[in-house]
Chains A and B, each alone.
Chain A
Amino acid sequence: MESCPSVKNILLLDSEGNRVAVKYYSDDWPTNSSKEAFEKSVFTKTQKTNARTEAEIAMFENNIVIYKFAQDLHFFVTGGDDENELIISTVLQGFFDAVNLLLRGNVDKKEALENLDLILLCLDEIVDGGIILETDSNVIAGKVASHSVDSGAPLSEQTISQALATAREHLTRSLLNV
């Protein structure tokens, strides 16, 4: 185990196991049908568990899968079986919280699909080709949200700190909604 920690896939499925957004970083599932088969088995084996307050964990075909549910969305992150579980769990938490920020606390399938561009950008900011880019949800959401301001504004001048401010604003808004 001298290798860099790596993520094999990140899945966001709905309450029936259908894809909302998925991203694979490993060759373990070369075809779409093998991917779907993996998603199906992961979904069916985890759907009855209660992974709403704390992230849960399971093993599949020599992989560790760590997952958490919110409303009708199921979040999964997969790593190899000798990977440090807590690293994978940090990635999941980062993804989960960043989505929560980006959807302003309305974490459900409808909202996720309506903001699919944000979800896809979010995935892109968390992991690059299996290597963890960022796990801090505020930073992730900040990077993604940096453009969701009105397109008319001179966005090229916008900086990371402004982006972070946007994210923070989202956070406070989401807190107010609750």
Chain B
Amino acid sequence: MAQFVKKDDDRDEEEYSPFLGIEKGSVLQEARVFNDPQLDSRRCSQVITKLLYLLNQGETFTKVEATEVFFAVTKLFQSKDIGLRRMVYLIIKELSPSSDEVIIVTSSLMKDMNSKTDVYRANAIRVLCRITDGTLLTQIERYLKQAIVDKNPVVASAALVSGIHLLQTNPEIVKRWSNEVQEAVQSRAALVQFHALALLHQIRQNDRLAVSKLVTSLTRGTVRSPLAQCLLIRYTSQVIRESSMNNQSGDRPFYDYLEGCLRHKAEMVIFEAARAITELNGVTSRELTPAITVLQLFLSSSKPVLRFAAVRTLNKVAMTHPMAVTNCNIDMESLISDQNRSIATLAITTLLKTGNESGVDRLMKQITNFMSDIADEFKIVVVDAIRSLCLKFPLKYRSLMNFLSNILREEGGFEYKKAIVDSIVILIRDIPDAKESGLLHLCEFIEDCEFTYLSTQILHFLGVEGPKTSDPSKYIRYIYNRVILENATVRASAVSTLAKFGAMVDSLKPRIFILLRRCLYDNDDEVRDRATLYLNTLGGDGSVVETDKDVKDFLFGSLDIPLVNLETSLKNYEPTEEQFDISSVPKEVKSQPLAEKKSAGKKPTALGAPPAAPTSTVDAYEKLLSSIPEFSTFGQLFKSSAPVELTEAETEYAVNVVKHIFDKHVVFQYNCTNTIPEQLLENVIVVVDASEAEEFAEVATKPLKALPYDTPGQTFVAFEKQEGVLAVGRFSNELKFIVKEVDPSTGEAEEDGVEDEYQLEDSEIVAADYMLKVGVSNFRNAWESLGPDFERIDEYGLGPRESLSEAVNAVINLLGMQPCEGTEVVAANSRSHSCLLSGVYIGNVKVLVRLSFGVDSSKEVAMKLAVRSEDESVSDAIHEIVAN
């Protein structure tokens, strides 16, 4: 290939490359050799390689160039040179010709598909399937079916893999190949079986019964390649997952198969099986043990990939079953010094999750050495783990807080610093003892902080928390230093923080005013404006007056108007005689996409709105509800249910309901989506008939003004009920709205609409809605500490049941409580079972339940129910739920 080299005088021996100085234009010129009557296949191959090199380097061909090359390449099918043909296949795939061009090569490729040469057959199938469209596919379908069962494994695999790709675009055609694919699953060639299994599962994936049958037959049969075995493990866990959802039975039919795979000779399979076991729903420690054991062996492997895979999986297990992983702690500790920093980080965070309180100090020492030589992204992971550790062992806050403040002083990027600051803020909020030292650490940090964003956030936080401490005055120095030393943004927020101290702490007022007055000469407008505003409203004209509540609310209260709405109103405001009236801004929360809310609920954001606790879905709901004036008097939100669908999938309007439970009220939040592009719905309400729910009285409805296409919106209905009464009932729902036609081209809605209604499914309030699933880490301790004062014990006959586990699940679902220590799983064939449940009942009353079940030969189930709670009436209520 030496002739590739362009003549280049100052060619450096070391930088020698056959493609040195290559240019698209000249290569395209060279491609003319494809048209020579006497083909030089060697030279043609070289030119194709050059073309592929250019494409690979990110060069693009214009439409004209690509077409030209493509047509020239098609000439090369004349050559009998097998190597050249392979390169032709490659370049055709890379050029991805348009459908009218495809026709040119179709016949050549179809000829190759039926060639005697296996290499031709296999490759022609792959190329043709890559570039083909539906119509052509029907023509070649016959050959593809034959190829699937071809005795040459390469050909069969090529057809099967192409089938997997085609299933995305032409499912109805590929689905007709089931019989051939089924036959290929039995192939003796390892990879053919793998590809056939993948395709067969994808064809049948929506047919649960078929998948279950497939798994049943294959787990008993022979699977030849490790890859196919891995696939089978994935399908098996899918079947396990779905079967446990359907029949609620506790025994796992395929667990033995998974456990058997732990003894497979391929590491890939062992690992896949171990991982599948750890991810089983409600896995018990007995089931976990064999999987943890093999993973532990991997931890000391010489291969980094194995160590990584094992430690990553154990790390995940540690989140839910920390006790199961503690056996690996010694191996894990030796991984802290692993060359591969990802492995070391995972090992540390796992140890942080599984460690006990006494080991914290030792662990922190190890981590301190480790922190200095890892990248920021790993440090963030460690910081997050330390935060959760601290919340778990609040008594250890001192050493953990010290650690955080130490690393805060060291070098680091913004994301890393932010993670540390967020953690400190969360610790201050959740651990009262940590507040003062935490605030001082933050104060010291802003003395030398290069990130404006962090400085302002911390100043704001100081303003909220600082005045409530025992000695607020010690923070003033830090804050005022900002006014002297920092940029305008930080100065402005320092001024606000100072004012907050002034407003909240009367004794500091005179000194604060002096400081604020100095800010009046600042050279930044915003800083001056803020100082002036605060001085005037707080009465800084010399007289020390008690700052009244209105002023405080005005300055520091939360804005009860959605900022988005305020922004639109301000944009629409035209400067006239009339003043801008803030009360004219709509307070209604505009329909916000649900996805946004979800993402907000994912991660606790620490430095947010003033009284912000870590946000969660519940917080998002709470915020949403409290922003609606009608519901703002309902008090603290107790529980929000998961959304329950009230419509079938793929109907005109998709509606689901979220039940919000308050002490004396229940609010139904209907999330509606309009799936018809040609319609706009207005004044959407849900008419609820509560005649089958006598204890509820409707008190308010909140219609949704407009529901455009594909933008979810919410409408609400609120009911009142008596406090402390376990009111249950059934509600029938009907969606009512005015429908307006929308012109799809302009998006404009017509003036007139028609009233219409749409029947929804019923919703229900059940006893479980008044119970929060809250687990306890140690049931026995919790049980002892609640004491027998309000213990209620009774026995019940549950009548004949399908199985013991079905009965256990029925009671758990009825009570809506959290099963503890994996006791929801009933061993197969056992005659008796005990189950431990915990939860929080409405009114924030902690409840623990011990259930003992027995079953006799006629499947008659008896149950003993023991309840302990913090309140006598609640213990009784639990019994009432069961008795009814």
Enumerate chain A interface residues (CB-CB to B < 8 A). Answer: 1-5, 19, 21-22, 32, 35-36, 45, 49-50, 54-59, 66, 84-87, 89-90, 109-110, 113-117, 120-121, 124, 128-129, 131-135, 143, 146-148, 151, 155-156, 158-160
Contacts and interface: CB of A to CB of B under 8 A. Distances in A.
B86 A121 contact: yes
Given A54-B302, A84-B272, A148 B80 contact: no
Interface size band for B: 35 or more
Secondary structure dominating the interface of A:
mixed
Interface string B218-239: 0000000001001100110110
B82 A120 contact: no
Contact of B309 (A56, A84, A90): A84
B303 A147 contact: no
B271 A86 contact: yes
A84 B230 contact: yes
Nearest to B225: A135
A86 B305 contact: yes
11 contacts: A1-B234, A5-B227, A32-B58, A50-B339, A55-B303, A116-B18, A120-B49, A129-B130, A131-B165, A159-B118, A160-B118
B234 A2 contact: yes
Nearest to B345: A59
Q: Which of B126, B268, B375 has the most CB of A within 10 A?
A: B268
Interface string B765-785: 000000000000000000000
B340 A133 contact: no
A151 B271 contact: no
Given A32-B58, A156-B117, A117 B45 contact: yes
Contacts of B309: 84-86
Interface in B640-672: none
B41 A19 contact: no
Contacts of A56: 304-305, 340
B49 A87 contact: no
Contact of B90 (A5, A45, A120): A120
Contact of A116 (B52, B198, B234, B312): B52
Interface of B: 1, 16-19, 41-42, 45, 48-49, 52-53, 56-58, 60, 80-87, 90, 93, 115-119, 126, 130, 152, 154, 157-158, 161-162, 164-165, 191, 194-195, 198, 201-202, 205, 227, 230-231, 234-235, 237-238, 267-268, 271-272, 275, 279, 302-306, 308-309, 312, 339-340, 342, 375
B198 A4 contact: yes
Nearest to B191: A134
Contacts of A45: 375
A56 B164 CA distance: 31
A85 B305 contact: yes
B82 A147 contact: yes
A146 B165 contact: no
Given A22-B56, A84-B309, A156-B82, A151 B41 contact: yes
Contacts of A120: 49, 52, 56, 90
Given A35-B58, A121-B87, 16 more contacts: A2-B238, A4-B164, A4-B198, A45-B375, A56-B305, A85-B306, A85-B309, A85-B312, A86-B267, A87-B268, A113-B17, A120-B90, A131-B161, A147-B85, A155-B81, A160-B119
Contacts of A36: 58
B645 to A, nearest CB: 23
Contacts of B60: 32
3 smallest beta-carbon distances between A and B, as pairs: A147-B83, A32-B58, A155-B82
B57 A151 contact: no
Contact of B231 (A4, A50, A59, A89): A4
Q: Which of A5, A58, A128, A158 has the most CB of B within 10 A?
A: A128
A131 B227 CA distance: 11
Contact of A156 (B80, B87, B157, B304): B80
Contact of A155 (B45, B83, B191, B312): B83
